[in-house]
Chains A and B, each alone.
Chain A
Amino acid sequence: MKVKVGIMSFAHLHADSYAHCLKTNPRAEFVGIADHDRQRAQAKAEQYGVALFDSYEALLASEVQAVIICSENAKHAQLAQMAAAAGKHILCEKPLMTRLEDGKAMLAAAQGAGVHLFTAFPCRFSPAFQKMKQLIDAGAIGELLALRGTNRGSNPGGWFNDLELAGGGAMIDHTVHVADLIRLLTGQEIATVYAETSNQMFHGNYDDTALLTLTLQNELFATLDASWSRPKTFPTWGDVTLTAIGTKGIIEMDMFAQYLLHYDDRAGRIKQVFWGDNIDALMIDEFLRVVAGEPRCVIATGEDGYRAAAVALAGYESVRRGEPVTVSYE
């Protein structure tokens, strides 16, 4: 039996990757699309050869068992609550929410309806990260002392630069992946955050560069660069890196450093052509398995998404106050 899945909104650019994963995964039946942007929905429905629903309500009234939510960040809460009320399992794009109360409402709605709520953190599935975690768990670098991460990209523009719809700028966009990896690697919660942001890349009313300093338990500390600092001529979209410092050595992970360099005369630029595993596909595959009744293994829960987003929100609180702040998870 194939798992019937719909996509709610294509506002987030990752929707295309998930749509492709659904089309190519033999466990999935990609049923259709609904979007508050009707034109976008129509174009995407045609592109993927799936049904176009007139409204989110119509999609949720259909036979779909699960939905993937890729709306603007601030709209996740409303769509997730609608989906939960309709008894659909949910995979929600990150960041899970732009306000703590929205996140709490999403978690409560899913729990109340008895549906799964997952957060789209595909980096968890990276074989490089999984190997790094195995090595650290096996004591390869001794006791863990510090972590240094980056998740840089370029400015996606559009609603990502709208503070209401996105919930912030680069910091809310790029903090959550690595915050999630740090939680997973350490088994600890992030306790405090200090953040410095700037807008000197794009000079808008949003943060386009962000440096966060995090503390965990046992004096463990970390920094995270969550900036839209990749220039237009950068050979790829950005990076996810994490370095672990231990008493016996270090491990450096550069998650997407599996590429050929393509010096492309026709395009007039140099590009990285990635040949590593498709982590979106690995995540979607587990999503489909869990919806079909198999146990959860790697995929991030709603709670994981909530806790990672809370770190980004604490970052903004730190910027407002000009000092380190305790992360509020309540």
Chain B
Amino acid sequence: MVKVGIVGLGTMGRQHMDAYLQMPDVEVAGVYDHHPDRAEAFRQQYDVPVASSFNALLECCEIIDICTPTYRHAEYALPAIEAGKAVVCEKPLARTIEDCERIAEAVHKHSTLFMPAHVLRFFPEFRMAHQLIRNGAIGTPAIIRTRRGGDFPITKSDWYADFEKSGGVILDLIIHDFDWLRWTLGEVERVYAKALTFRKLNHLDYTLVTLRFQNGTIAHVEGTWCDPGGFRVTLEACGDAGMLEYDSAQQVALRLATRADEGSAGGVQVPESPAVENPYYLELRHFVDCYKTGATPELTVTDGVEAVRIALMAIESARTGRVVKR
């Protein structure tokens, strides 16, 4: 049994826990959260041992899975790496490029098995789009557009609304698209962005980012925490031999619509794209397999650093109004 420890027991911690529960060769040997009441709720739901400290978690696990808010990633990643653990870390790798580089340096120094959890690479639609483009399905890529987002994410601590902690919609959300674009097109040459991030609006963030890649392809990435119409993702990739298009709002394999009970407020609509294995499972399964076989993960710490670098270039451009070159 591979012993995994999860630190950070919010939404992502639960998502990862659910994935590990489907793996017969994995035991979640411990979990940790610096909020004792959150850890207790998690223990009650999943019946897993709660470590008394992060050090105690390090002692009982082989793999450390970091699901804390972005600004605390380095604080847990660095001791885990130094303790010789394999580490999987939620995206974005860290809040600052300095933290990213500290993590990367430690990973290289300790030859750590490390993976930044850019789960979009394990979403079948984006994985297939990547493969099709790389295999020439649209010819030479010319222009790619992505759109991602919905309403503003609100949690108990409201850390998404604190730019210093989350980096706003650019660092937290569309880093998915930056990583996917870089995976598919190669390195970025320059970035220009506009955003609402610095206007201090109440729970609203929105950005439009233009990127030019070294291979000459241009891209437009829209990120929204402004859309009350529900979460939606679109992708359109145009090349000299064709185009690929995906729209989560158009392709709905299963839709549930229920009438609210009398007296209760509102109904609920849940569009779904059911699959045998969800992307979080595929991502973590890949990492556990790498741990067991010694293989190199598809995503390295460098991918994590570079995705953050693109996001921070976009943030700098939005802040200064200038074109930011790599």
Contact = CB atoms under 8 A, between A and B. Distances in A.
Q: Do A and B bind each other?
A: yes
A203 B143 contact: no
Nearest to A201: B142
Given A213-B192, A250-B229, A230 B218 contact: no
A219 B228 CA distance: 22
B199 A211 contact: no
A215 interface: yes
A225 B145 contact: yes
Nearest to A252: B229
Given A219-B199, A324-B321, A202 B206 contact: no
Given A194-B192, A211-B218, A231 B238 contact: yes
A200 B140 contact: yes
Contacts of A223: 194, 208, 210, 220
Contacts of A146: 194, 196, 206, 208
Interface in B262-317: none
A8 interface: no
Contact of B210 (A196, A219, A229, A245): A196
Given A148-B208, A231-B243, A209 B194 contact: no
Interface in A200-238: 200-203, 208-209, 211, 213, 215, 219, 221-223, 225, 227, 229-231, 233-234
A247 interface: yes
Contacts of A196: 192, 210, 212, 218
A323 interface: yes
A324 B145 CA distance: 21
A215 B194 CA distance: 9
A194 B242 contact: no
Contact of B208 (A200, A221, A227, A322): A221
Contacts of A213: 192, 194, 208, 210
A213 B322 CA distance: 12
Interface in B173-229: 192, 194, 196, 199, 201, 204, 206, 208, 210, 212, 216-218, 220, 222, 224, 226-229
A145 B222 CA distance: 14
Contacts of B140: 200
A13 B81 CA distance: 64
A139 interface: no
Interface residues of B, number: 34
B194 A225 contact: no
Contacts of B218: 196-198, 209, 211
A242 to B, nearest CB: 13
Contacts of A209: 142-143, 218, 238
Interface string B34-62: 00000000000000000000000000000
Nearest to B199: A219
A276 interface: no
A249 B201 CA distance: 13
Interface in A180-208: 194, 196-198, 200-203, 208
B220 A211 contact: yes
Contacts of B206: 145-146, 245
A198 B323 contact: no
A223 B146 CA distance: 13
B322 A323 contact: yes
A249 B206 CA distance: 12
Contacts of B10: none
Contact of A200 (B145, B217, B228): B217
Nearest to A225: B220
Given A146-B206, A227-B143, A247 B201 contact: yes
B226 A250 contact: yes
A324 B323 contact: yes
Interface of B: 140-143, 145, 192, 194, 196, 199, 201, 204, 206, 208, 210, 212, 216-218, 220, 222, 224, 226-229, 238-243, 321-323
Given A146-B194, A223-B210, A323-B323, 16 more contacts: A145-B204, A194-B192, A196-B210, A198-B142, A198-B143, A198-B216, A201-B143, A201-B240, A202-B240, A225-B143, A229-B238, A229-B243, A231-B241, A231-B242, A250-B228, A322-B323
27 contacts: A145-B196, A148-B208, A194-B210, A196-B210, A198-B142, A200-B140, A200-B143, A200-B216, A201-B238, A208-B142, A209-B142, A209-B238, A211-B143, A213-B210, A215-B194, A222-B208, A223-B208, A223-B220, A225-B145, A229-B143, A230-B238, A230-B243, A231-B242, A231-B243, A245-B196, A245-B206, A250-B228
List the 10 shortest-distance A-B pairs measured between CB atoms, nearest first.
Answer: A200-B142, A221-B194, A229-B238, A209-B143, A223-B208, A201-B142, A231-B243, A196-B218, A211-B210, A198-B218
